[in-house]
Structure formats: C-alpha cells, structure tokens
Amino acid sequence: MDSFIIGSQRTPGPLVSIAQVKGHLRLLRVFHNLRVIVEECKDRRIPAFAAQMDRDSRWVWFITLAINRFERWVKSLQFAPLEKFINKHFPPIDVWMVWHAYLLNPCCYEEDCERLPVLQQLRMLNVFVVASIDVGKSAKNQPSESRIATWHKQTGSYFDPFDAMAELTHKQMECPRCRTRVFVPFVNDNGTGYSEQRFSALCPLPGCRLKITKGNLAVAKFVRDLTESEDGSDHYMALSGTRINAIAIANEIPVGFCRKNFRSSNPRIARVDWEKEIKECIGYSWPLLKDAIAIALSDQHEATRINILNAYEQDSPFSVDLVSAVQRQGIFIRRIDVLGWIKPGAFKDNDKLQILEHSLLRYHCFLDLAAASPNLMPVPTLDIDLIWHSHQLMGGKYGVDSESYVGRRLDHPLAIEEGVLSTALDNTCRAWQTRFRVLYMQCGCPAPDETVFKKFIRILQHYTRTPTRLQASLHPDHIPATHPSIHNAVLDPELRGFGAFRKPAHTQRDEISDLVRLSRPQVVRKKRSKKSNLEPPSRLEGFVSEKMIGQPVNSQSHTTLRQDWDV
C-alpha cells in the first residue's frame, strides 16, 4: 500500500482508497439519474402542478422537499452500529443527496454537529460510523422491508421520494412574532410558496397577522441562537461560527441586545422576553439585523463575518444553505459526467484505472501543498476535487486527517466570490509548479501571467528539480479533469458570467449558465396550460387544509434509479 508525504509527515497509506472513489462515483451516478428524472418529469408520480414548472424550478422544489425529509430524519435518528445502521436506518436516496452536500461543507457540518441538539445523534454516527460506510454499495442496494418500515415509523412518511410527493404539500414552521405553529404550502399559484423565491404567508392568528418571510424567519433563527444558553448561565456559545472560531459574540452585540434584567425569574420566560425585545427592536428586519451584526463583528476577520452572516441567510436550523449546496454539487456532477467518469464500467480497464490512481496522487500532493502554504486557499481541479469530496464523506475522519497532516481543518466553502476564487486559483497554480515542477492544469486553461524573472526561475528549477512521482504528461483521458473545479464560484450576474473566469478555456457554456443562475434570485416559471385545475390552490395565509395533490402527468411507469453498477 503506497504511502504519501504530506508536510513533514508520511501517511501509513492513502487517506482515500480507489475503492472508495469508485463507490463515490456510483453514488454520483444515482444522484445524476435522480436529477434527470425530476427535471424531465420521467416519473408519473410527479404532481401535475410541479410539471407546470420549468425544469430548474422543479428541481429546486424537489430539493426543498428532500431537505424537509432530511430534517425529519435527523430528528428521529438513533445511534446504531454500522451494520444495523446500513440495514435499518440508512436514508432514502434524496435524503442521502442532501446529507452528501452537507458533508461537503466540512467545517460547517462539524460545527453544526457540535452545537445543534437536533444533530447530536448524527454527531455520534459522524465519529464512529460514517467513515466506514461503503457509499457505492449503499446506493446500489435496494431498500429492505425493515429499512422502509423503520423510515416510515421514524418519520411518518413514505420511503420513496416520489411516493412522498403526494403528502409533502406544506411546511411546518413557527411564526417569528407569536410562535404559533403555521403550515405553509411549498408551492402555490401566485409564486409565494415556501420553495419559491417570493415566499410569504400571513400568520393565521387574528391577534398577530404577521407577514412571514424568509427574512423575518432568518431573524428569528439568529435571535433564537443568540439567546440560547448551554447551561442556563450567561455564557452564550450557540451561534454558528462561534465554536470552532471561539468568538464571544453575545457580548459584542450592540447595547439593547444584551439586556439581562428581566421581569420574570423563570429563565425560559425571561429568554422569550429577550427574544421578543430584540426582534421588536429591529422590526423583524433581516437587513437591519445584518448591519448590527456586521458592526458587532467589525474587529473580526472578514471571512469569519461572512461565514456567520451566511449561516443566517436562510431559516433552516443548519448553517449551510442546503438548497444551494445540492445545486452546486449538481454542477460538479454534470462536469464529472461530461468526463465520462460516472458511466458504468468507466474504470474497469487497468489503462483507465491509472487515471484514478494518479488523481489520488495529485490529491495527496494537494494536501501537501496546503500544509506547506498555511496562507494559501488551494483551489482544486476536477480530479482532485473528486478525491477531496470522497475524503470529506468520511465525516469525522476527514477532520482528524486534515488536522493531523495539514495542520488545520481544510475547509471546502460552499460559495466564493469570483474574483477571490480566480486569484486563489492563480496562486495555487504558481505554488504547485514551484513545489512539484510540473503544470497544475494541463487542460488548456491559460496559466497565470509570469514575469521574465519568474520564467527564468522556473526554467532553472526544471533542471534542478527534486524527485516527484507526479507525471509531467498524463493519460489523454485524464487531461480534461485537470480543469479547475469552480462549482462554488459566485459570479456577477450583471457580467453574464464573463468576469474573472471570462477566459473561454476556464468554463463550458452550461457551467457558466448554471453558476450565473445560482448567483441571482430564482423565480419559478410555469408552462402555459389550457387546463385551469392543474395549479395548486392560491392561499396567502399560513394555515390551510387542502392537499395540493395533482394528477399524474403521463402514463409512464415508475422509474427506477437502479443502474449497471460496474465502475
């Protein structure tokens, strides 16, 4: 078994195995097929009102339902040994897709598992079970009767995501003002459903009637976390970004946010009063609250401020925007599909297997580069990113490996501004060539500009190079995979994607379109229909009794996600 040098240490073997990477590719194939089925309406169980959306909006709706199912799953989860977990508690493929995207934001995921009560069972699995899961085999196996029964008992919903569509019509939430339990539709006919960009609903309580929006739900989420105390004391450490970074943010919030002399001696009532006071103080306005938080964190590193604010841009209990996370992983999967890497039997031949073997070597060199350059934000190529993702799917083991060999938790941010990412990519290319004496990207993308002096140094280093196992020339089918992986780029919609990554070789047209679409507000677009009864009912209030169940859109039989599993 090969060992690798990372920084000043040598690994006992590869941190990720070829078998694990091949298993991950099988999983990506299932995710890809699931997306195609939803986007192209290839399952007759998709409700008619969803069929009236355009493909992108329908996929966002489906992801939103999957996140709702993921929340149900983690709330009902119980710790179990590996074999029992796989046989009885492993989630359906749509929930696994959400969990997969969550794991690929390792620092946020680890921190959430530490700070959120709802994830405590997942935290235990993260430490003891997740690293041992054969993701390819888990995706391949058809669910057993006991696994389906356990899911239904724990979540009260159908195991199959397409069967569950008929019952997943409304989202349960609390009114940010009166805390009344409210049910709002995921989709309605005026574009203000929960999964839609212009979401709003009226609180049904006559004495409240607050217009509920994603903004004031985000306010409620932040204030709830701010006032949360671990032990009933004044030591508040529940905010996202405050555990790993150890920021005592509660003491930095402006005066008026930290009133501690409450009328009630009951801590629970006192906390509710404090929450209400803060929310009333800023008028349930997320923009005003963001300004107050930014002022309170003005002495903190910019990246820390951005991470904390981003964690509260959406109302789910998690610090990651899981809708965006799944969408961005979809962009990555599409690029891997274009390479032909998720096709059945793609790496059965030894000739092709060397592509994965050299990708594995390049990933360990990537970690070595990160260990040698503490201030570098390394940007991966597609092949390296695939191995990096496979490593992150090991949960707690990834954090331990990263800390042990790189000297820090190497994060994989969900979204990075285009200019920052472009500069980081140029820095990565230069650092790689300096350290390993070979080109980082061989896909034809333009290399960073270099001065005459740097060119002289590069030529000199070429003749005095130190031994390296990296190959100067790669397998022809490997070369396209050395393209930069920029699925986390946040592009400027006004430039139509032609900003820092305007160079044609950097991106393909479909990738640019996807990235620009993710960087601007999404609007649900619906196809025209001569029938008027295909739309879900229009309701502005959050309490409704009707079920939004449409008729089958076609006569196709249920589509199976099972494919040829030889990779």
Q: For 407-427, write each residue's pLDDT tens digit.
A: 999 999 888 888 888 899 999
First-to-last alpha carbon distance for the chain, in angstroms, is: 21
Is residue 397 a part of any domain in this protein?
yes
Is residue 446 a part of any domain in this protein?
yes
pLDDT higher at 350 or 33: 33
pLDDT above 60 for 351: yes
pLDDT above 90 for 355: yes
Residues 472 and 433: beta-carbon distance below 8 Å: no
> 521 falls in which pLDDT band (50, 70, 90)?
low
Residue 293 has a pLDDT of 82
Rounded to whole angstroms, the Cα distance separating 370 from 403 reads: 11
Give the count of beta carbons closer than 10 Å to the beta carbon of residue 566.
12
Average pLDDT over residues 243-255: 52
pLDDT above 70 for 560: no
Burial group, residue 477, by CB count within 10 angstroms (0-12, 13-18, 19+): middle
Is residue 368 a part of any domain in this protein?
yes
Give the chain's length.
567
Average pLDDT over residues 131-135: 79
Residue 30 has a pLDDT of 93
Is residue 151 a part of any domain in this protein?
no
pLDDT higher at 325 or 475: 325
Is residue 543 a part of any domain in this protein?
no
> 298 falls in which pLDDT band (50, 70, 90)?
confident
Is residue 407 a part of any domain in this protein?
yes
Which residue range is the domain that position 432 belongs to?
Answer: 4-13+351-469+476-519
Rounded to whole angstroms, the Cα distance separating 421 from 425 reads: 6
Of the chain, the percentage scoring pLDDT greater than 90 comes to 47
Rounded to whole angstroms, the Cα distance separating 263 from 251 reads: 21
Residue 142 has a pLDDT of 82
Average pLDDT over residues 189-210: 92
Mention every residue, 6+ apart, whose C-beta is less than 8 A from residue 67: 98, 316, 322, 323
Give the count of beta carbons closer than 10 Å to the beta carbon of residue 132.
14
| Candidate ranges 125-134, 343-352, 381-390, 461-470; pick with highest mean pLDDT | 381-390
Residue with token string 């060397």: 354
- Is the sign of the CA dihedral 471, 475, 479, 480 positive or negative? negative
Residue 262 has a pLDDT of 53
Q: Strand, coil or helix: what is 183?
A: strand
Q: Look at the chain and report how many structural domains it folds into.
A: 1
Average pLDDT over residues 432-458: 71
Nearest to 382 by CA among 453, 422, 448, 331: 331
Average pLDDT over residues 433-438: 90
Nearest to 536 by CA among 522, 550, 521: 550
Residue 327 has a pLDDT of 94
Average pLDDT over residues 303-314: 83
Residue 258 has a pLDDT of 54
> 259 falls in which pLDDT band (50, 70, 90)?
low
Residue 495 has a pLDDT of 53
Residue 334 has a pLDDT of 93
Rounded to whole angstroms, the Cα distance separating 325 from 28 reads: 14
Is residue 451 a part of any domain in this protein?
yes
> 137 falls in which pLDDT band (50, 70, 90)?
confident
Alpha carbon separation from 362 to 28, 243, 342 (Å, rounded): 21, 32, 20
Indicate the DSSP class of residue 375: T
Rounded to whole angstroms, the Cα distance separating 177 from 481 reads: 51
Q: Strand, coil or helix: what is 179?
A: coil
And the tokens for 257? 């946010």
Burial 233-255 (b: 16+ CB within 10 A, else e): eeebbbbbbbebbebebbebbee
Is residue 32 a part of any domain in this protein?
no
Rounded to whole angstroms, the Cα distance separating 3 from 357 reads: 13
Alpha carbon separation from 389 to 27, 194, 394, 421 (Å, rounded): 12, 30, 9, 18
Of the chain, the percentage scoring pLDDT greater than 70 comes to 75
pLDDT above 60 for 27: yes
pLDDT higher at 157 or 516: 157
- What are the pLDDT digits (tens) for 78-107? 888 888 888 888 999 999 999 999 999 999
Residue 448 has a pLDDT of 64
Q: What backbone torsions phi and psi does residue 391 show, to the nearest 5 degrees? A: -65, -45
Rounded to whole angstroms, the Cα distance separating 136 from 30 reads: 9
Instruction: Specify the pairing of strand 489-490 against strand 416-417.
Output: parallel
Residue 235 has a pLDDT of 40
Rounded to whole angstroms, the Cα distance separating 177 from 270 reads: 16
Summary mean pLDDT of the chain: 80
pLDDT above 70 for 540: no
Residue 270 has a pLDDT of 77
pTM for the complete prediction? 0.86
Q: What backbone torsions phi and psi does residue 200 show, to the nearest 5 degrees? A: -160, 150
Rounded to whole angstroms, the Cα distance separating 497 from 325 reads: 19
pLDDT above 90 for 131: no
pLDDT higher at 541 or 108: 108
pLDDT above 80 for 447: no
pLDDT higher at 8 or 297: 8
Least confident range of 99-103, 200-204, 276-280, 352-356: 276-280
The residue type of 464 is T
Burial group, residue 198, by CB count within 10 angstroms (0-12, 13-18, 19+): middle
Indicate the DSSP class of residue 168: -
Residue 537 has a pLDDT of 42
